[in-house]
């Protein structure tokens, strides 16, 4: 992957958009003491250069899709000559059930996040599709039970603190 240089203004724009993708150019310009036209030029360049890959809304799906199942699958891979883990990772990330794939160091090679409507659907994906890919040596599945925080956003209800008061 080729390094990409970003100046201070560009980095400030990216940080603002990371926190809230709905912020318009005028507001960003106000926050960084610049002009909306300059902000628009930066954003357009970031989109063209695939630095900004899309705009997302954080949704607490566990409150809406009560039966949806998510699993984190540890995958051991036999790397291929000249391409390493990339071809196996590509074969995995092309499945619609897969929401994320990461190459990691440690006891396994890839971490794959899978989503399905129910436990059976996820289990079938792992046994019939994922485990049968050439180069996949083994898998270990971990089913997500509850999310507390995702991408910097706390998902749990933030009612009053449950900690006991400290008394002298």
On whether the CB atoms of residues 125 and 97 are closer than 8 A, the answer is yes
pTM of the predicted structure, to 2 decimals: 0.71
Please give the class, per CATH, of domain 8-48: mainly alpha
Give the domain ranges of the chain: 8-48, 67-145
CATH code for the domain defined by 67-145: 3.30.70.920
Q: 8-48 and 67-145 share one CATH topology?
A: no
Task: Judge whether residue 144 has pLDDT over 60.
Answer: yes
Mean pLDDT computed over 45-72: 84
pLDDT bracket for residue 158 (50, 70, 90): low
Rounded to the nearest 5°, which phi and psi values hold at 75?
A: -125, 125
Q: Which two tokens stand for residue 33?
A: 């003491």
pLDDT digit string, tens, across residues 17-35: 988 889 999 999 999 999 9
């Amino acid at each position: 992957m080729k390094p990409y240089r970003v100046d201070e203004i560009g980095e400030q724009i990216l940080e603002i958009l990371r926190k809230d993708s709905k912020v318009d150019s005028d507001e960003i310009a106000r926050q960084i003491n610049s002009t909306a036209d300059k902000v628009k030029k930066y954003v357009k360049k970031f989109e063209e250069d695939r630095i900004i890959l899309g705009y997302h809304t954080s949704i607490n799906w566990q409150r809406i899709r009560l039966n949806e199942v998510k699993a984190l699958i540890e995958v051991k891979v036999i790397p291929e000559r000249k391409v390493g883990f990339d071809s196996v990772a590509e074969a995995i990330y092309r499945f619609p059930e897969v929401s994320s794939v990461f190459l990691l160091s440690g006891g396994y090679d890839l971490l794959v996040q899978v989503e399905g409507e129910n436990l059976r659907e996820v289990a079938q994906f792992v046994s019939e599709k994922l485990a049968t890919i050439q180069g996949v040596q083994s898998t270990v599945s971990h089913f997500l039970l509850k999310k507390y925080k995702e991408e910097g956003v706390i998902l749990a209800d933030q009612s009053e603190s449950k900690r006991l008061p400290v008394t002298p």
